[in-house]
A and B are shown apart, each in its own frame.
Chain A
Amino acid sequence: MNKRILVIDDNASIHEDFKKVLGLPVQDKSISEIEEMNQDLFGVKLARAGVGFDLSFALTGNRGCLLVAEAIEAGCPFGLVFLDQYLPDLDVISIITTIWEKAPRTEIVMISTFAVDSWQAPVEELGLTSRLLFLRKPIDTLVLRQMALSLLEKYSLSEKSSNATDQLPGERERQLELALAAMTTRNRELLEINQEASTNSSKKTDYLMSMSHEIRTPLNGVLGMVELLRETELDQNQRHLIETLAESGEVLMLLLTNILDLAKIEEGKIELQYTAFSLRKCVSGVINLMEARAIQRGNRLVTKIDPAVPAQVQGDEIWMRQVLVNLLSNAIKFTNKGNISVEIEVDVETERHVMLNFVVLDSGIGIDSKDQEQLFRQFAQVGGKAGVIYDGTGLGLAVCKQLVNLMGGEIWVKSNPGEGSAFHFSIAFEIASRKEAVNKPEQDREEPDNVIVPTSENGGRVLVVEDNPTNRKVAGIHLRLAGYCPEFVTNGQEALDWLSEEKCDLILMDIQMPVMDGFEATLEIRKFLPKIPILAMTANVFQSQRDKCFAVGMNDFQAKPVRKQGFLAMIEKWIGKPDAKKQANFKTAQSQPKVKVANTDEPLEPPIYIDRAIKDFEGDRELVGIVLTEFVKITAGRIETMVRATFDRDLEVVANEVHALKGGAGNIYAERLASVAEELEKALEQNHLARISSRLVSLSREFGCLQEYLRTCGDLK
């Protein structure tokens, strides 16, 4: 607490009085302070008073101001100033102003000897202040003391709180820094969480993509079989069941495609591939695809394309097609015995660009306006009865919206319940060519120049190169029913072996196969059979894949799933209808196939040829036993590592592990395990995640077989 008091008074005797009342206390405490003070007023018996204040005195205003300034400079300012109202040099207002200028919190008590009204002027002059009090002479010692105590206490408190306030910015900075640090940490955490989330999302997408892909393969088989079943003799009821089965299968296929597409779009994995393409062809292709289903429901399907629509535009044909397929399949789904049309008209046209409006119009059940907003969202389908009658996930429209937006367009719907729906979308295209005539070279390109007249010198013998047994079966049955004579091999290498000894008229070539894929096989075949038609069969419908097919020397392209009509039409285009006579000759000739044809009924080779391993280790059975035990242990670890690394998409780790595993398995003659490992290695080279996962599963299964086998044979001890 500040104890410094300045007394400014021109009367020196007053200084003495203050000393006695407020100065250092006298040691003799026989007389109580209060008694002492009560006894004595100023000037008489104040000998032993004083409470220990640090007093300073000035006789003039100037001197007083100087002392105030010095005290401030010395760092021990006066907390309280007693100021005589009338001083010889300066007037009281200017002294107070000066003091407060230097130390604004100084408490001031003005002492006067005269009438009350004389205080009015300073109060008015100084304005409203809490630091000015008035005291009249003669002064009561107790009042003086209490006043001094109270005011210095007030001064100290005010000083303390002001210091606290002055320090506050620093404190605030510290707190801010702390908050900032905390926030940075939190931000980093959030960022990590976010990254983790996006990794998870990416993993989810990969999983979804590989799942859809894996489901699609057997589904293709199911659909193919259904199509074959249709060809057999059926009664009315069976026919109806088959139609339902087929339709459900198609719906499932479309659904899978949509899941896959949506996942790709969300992950930004879709890249638009702009090529010049004909919208008319694109639309007619879609119509051909959907016609059968439309007719089944008694719908009429028509197209109206504005003649002003350019012959070719720059765009992504595949996705354009997907949008139309989705919209049309919706229209067909919700329309019974009605009309469905696809219309394209020119909205705006400039020299190089054209804005086209597409409408898919149906006379179906229509959509309530309140449901229309929901329509393009994922997993939304108009509820109520429609949802019950017309099942589906509504993913199709979400995909359409995403795709149209991706192509820089807009999609919207106009509909009234019971009056049908019109799905509009508009997209701006760059014009590739205006006139249809420019199309001709392209058409010419599609027609091969080397085979103009279809020939089948070998009686319509067709080599099917395909690793999937179901696909082999489907293709085989179609071919046989149509009168062709199919032969089968399961990969490119087998095809080469077969062709080195046998002849055929046409080759159906799968692209992705173990040992040797379709591209490589075609390149090899072209070295010795430059003219034989080779038709690609693949589930991959991307333009890049098509281009590659033609680049390696294939003649045509058949998208999977194989559909009887298009499939046979394509074969007929290349080799014509099968010649019955020649075929008969060949049937006898080829009864004994020289080349081994993959046969699933063939007895499996054992998981391991232990005898060979023992021979390799120079008959040291014990060592082989030790090696095998260790190998099983190591391999279990490797598979676990590979599974984890696959999940983390650390494919390099997988590659290293599988390479080592393959070597080891080969060395102990675990041939099956080695060959699955090799397939996994291939899948890794192709960076084909879905295949990597499935090969890894096979690997694990094969390893299980090996372990089981080793347990049961157990003759190594």
Chain B
Amino acid sequence: MEVVLKILLVEDEFVSRMKLNKILSHFGTCDLVTTGKQLIEAFILAHEEGNPYGLISVDIRLPDMMGQEIVQEIRKWEKQHNVAVQEKEARILMVTAMSDGKNIMSSFKEGCEAYVVKPFDLDKITQALAKINVLPQSR
């Protein structure tokens, strides 16, 4: 039996959230949050319940946190809890409207693995996720 990928996505803007939900649904089941704080809480809760998210999609600019900060927080938490050893590290997709390299570079530095520049579509996201071995699931 194929294990369904658990996806957590944060996006404060409504249309993007709906669209991202629609697109990412091809890859797994999505939980949606709208702020960085909610994302961190959901991320920790999932770990505590023993069923962590496999993919986290992060908007680079949120009202409360920058995407880079979120990635930093996630990786810090994983390190503190030895998540790497269990090989349950989340894969992180950065969604950004800024095409400037600086933000993306600093996201990579913090441990993000893939990014997609807005406006995105299924093709773009599929390509980005293929690079980190997240593939569409047949349902």
Chain B positions 77-115 with a Cβ under 8 Å from a chain A Cβ? 97
Chain B positions 35-69 with a Cβ under 8 Å from a chain A Cβ? 61, 63
A215 at the interface (CB under 8 A from B): no
Chain A positions 596-640 with a Cβ under 8 Å from a chain B Cβ? 616-618, 620, 623, 627, 630-631, 634
**Which chain A residue shows the least CB distance to B59?**
A663
The reply to whether A667 and B22 form a contact with Cβ atoms under 8 Å apart is no
- Chain B residues in 8 Å Cβ range of A660: 12-13
Interface string of A113-134 (1 = CB under 8 A from B): 0000000000000000000000
Cα–Cα distance between A660 and B18 once the two chains are bound (Å): 14
Residue of B14, B61, B119 with most chain A CB atoms under a 10 A cut-off? B119
- Chain A residues in 8 Å Cβ range of B13: 660-661, 663-664, 667
A656 at the interface (CB under 8 A from B): yes
B3 at the interface (CB under 8 A from A): no
| Among A616, A634, A659, A665, contact of B19 (Cβ-Cβ < 8 Å) | A616
The reply to whether A666 and B119 form a contact with Cβ atoms under 8 Å apart is yes
A389 shortest CB reach to chain B, Å:
60
B121 at the interface (CB under 8 A from A): yes
| Among B63, B97, B122, contact of A616 (Cβ-Cβ < 8 Å) | B122
**Which chain B residue shows the least CB distance to A666?**
B119
B102 shortest CB reach to chain A, Å:
14
A662 at the interface (CB under 8 A from B): yes
Interface string of B21-33 (1 = CB under 8 A from A): 0100000000000
The reply to whether B63 and A667 form a contact with Cβ atoms under 8 Å apart is no
Cα–Cα distance between A663 and B18 once the two chains are bound (Å): 12
Cα–Cα distance between A80 and B73 once the two chains are bound (Å): 90
Number of residue pairs A-B, CB distance < 8 angstroms: 51
**Which chain A residue shows the least CB distance to B97?**
A663
Give the size range of A's interface with the partner: 20 to 34
- Chain B residues in 8 Å Cβ range of A659: 61, 97
**Which chain B residue shows the least CB distance to A627?**
B18
| Among B14, B22, B120, contact of A664 (Cβ-Cβ < 8 Å) | B14
Q: Given A618-B22, A618-B122, A663-B118, A631–B97 Cβ distance below 8 Å?
A: no
The reply to whether A662 and B22 form a contact with Cβ atoms under 8 Å apart is no
B100 shortest CB reach to chain A, Å:
12
Cα–Cα distance between A668 and B120 once the two chains are bound (Å): 10
**Which chain A residue shows the least CB distance to B14?**
A634
Cα–Cα distance between A662 and B120 once the two chains are bound (Å): 13
The reply to whether A617 and B22 form a contact with Cβ atoms under 8 Å apart is yes
Cα–Cα distance between A664 and B14 once the two chains are bound (Å): 7
**Which chain B residue shows the least CB distance to A615?**
B121
B1 at the interface (CB under 8 A from A): no
Interface residues of A (CB under 8 A from B): 616-618, 620, 623, 627, 630-631, 634, 656, 659-669
20 contacts between A and B (CB under 8 A): A616-B19, A616-B121, A616-B122, A617-B19, A618-B22, A618-B122, A620-B22, A623-B18, A627-B15, A630-B14, A656-B63, A661-B13, A662-B97, A663-B97, A664-B13, A664-B16, A665-B15, A666-B97, A667-B19, A668-B15
